[in-house]
Amino acid sequence: MNKINFYKIGLTLGLVPITGLGLILFVFWFGLTFFAHDIDVDGIGFLYIIISVPIVFVGFIFTFISIFQSSIKKSYRPIIGLILIVLNIPALIWILRTHGEISSRAYLKVVNNSDKDIESIKIKEPNNENTFGALSRKGSKIMYYNPDYKSPDGMTYPGIGENYFLITIAGSNLNKKIPRIHPGETHKIVFDQNLNLTNIHLNKITFNK
């Protein structure tokens, strides 16, 4: 009868959960960055973390036991495994911090339905300016920014105030006020033939529908 390989089982239990959580973050980021689709992963992510904690703990215990199962020459392997499992903690902190940073952004799918090529399009915030390159006629582009606004009293509030598109067409510069958008929202902004803006608030994509 084969002995239980505590090292392989422990390392698998210790590292697979954080890999899955990273995959959930990737799906969330990928949907917003490339399709302006806000996939609601908060619920499944929280549940996944709750389930993963005891699994990782068991993986740590199994890997620790494998130290005594290994020969002296090979005992370095489970020690390295323990270090990798402990690194789950900073990895989890990074994933949560990155998710929070992405969630505080507003993502825009900007569509140019005019018959003019936009040579350059920027988003101007009170204290920041982001350049997103050219936007051809009948084309579209995904953009994001942090919609924090300056008030007359000098305070910064999310979703209150003014942000602008700075666009260049045929060498001329135009400013177009962005409709009020709050942090964490996803919108479709359409430039019509006269370069007026139409704003469509896109809903989250949830897994329970």
Give per-residue pLDDT as tens, 112-146: 999 999 999 999 987 788 999 999 999 999 999 98
* Domain tally, the chain: 2
Indicate if 81 and 134 belong to the same structural domain. no
DSSP 143: E
Separation CA 118–CA 130 (nearest Å): 15
What average pLDDT does this structure show over 16-45? 95
Q: Is residue 83 part of a domain?
A: yes
Residue 21, both tokens: 């959580």
- Return the residue matching tokens 């806000």: 38
Q: Is residue 208 part of a domain?
A: no
Identify the band that residue 158 occupies on the pLDDT scale cut at 50, 70 and 90.
Answer: low
Indicate if 144 and 77 belong to the same structural domain. no
Average pLDDT over the chain reads 89
64-to-3, 7, 84, 124, 179 alpha-carbon distances in Å: 16, 8, 12, 53, 56
pLDDT at 77: 85
Identify the band that residue 31 occupies on the pLDDT scale cut at 50, 70 and 90.
Answer: very high
Q: Is residue 209 part of a domain?
A: no
Q: Which of 103, 132, 155 is the C-terminal boundary of a domain? A: 103
Indicate if 69 and 36 belong to the same structural domain. yes
Residue 99, both tokens: 């998710």
**CATH (domain of 114):** 2.60.40.2890
* Pairing label, strands 164-169, 172-177: antiparallel
Q: Is residue 20 part of a domain?
A: yes
pLDDT at 1: 44
Indicate if 128 and 58 belong to the same structural domain. no
Enclosing domain of residue 131: 106-202
Q: Is residue 37 part of a domain?
A: yes
Cβ neighbours of residue 99 under 8 Å, at least 6 residues apart? 25, 28, 45
pLDDT at 209 over 60: no
Indicate if 116 and 90 belong to the same structural domain. no
Q: Which of 56, 80, 103 is the C-terminal boundary of a domain? A: 103
* Pairing label, strands 156-158, 164-169: unpaired
> CB-side exposure of 95: number of CA atoms within 13 Å?
23
Indicate if 89 and 122 belong to the same structural domain. no
Q: Is residue 38 part of a domain?
A: yes
For 181-196, how does the pLDDT look when each residue is reduced to its tens digit (9 = 90+)?
888 999 999 999 999 9
Q: Is residue 174 part of a domain?
A: yes
Which residues on neighbouring strands pair with residue 191, listed in sequence order? 112, 197
Indicate if 126 and 85 belong to the same structural domain. no
pLDDT at 72: 56
What average pLDDT does this structure show over 7-29? 95
For 161-188, how does the pLDDT look when each residue is reduced to its tens digit (9 = 90+)?
678 999 999 999 999 999 888 889 999 9
Indicate if 192 and 179 belong to the same structural domain. yes
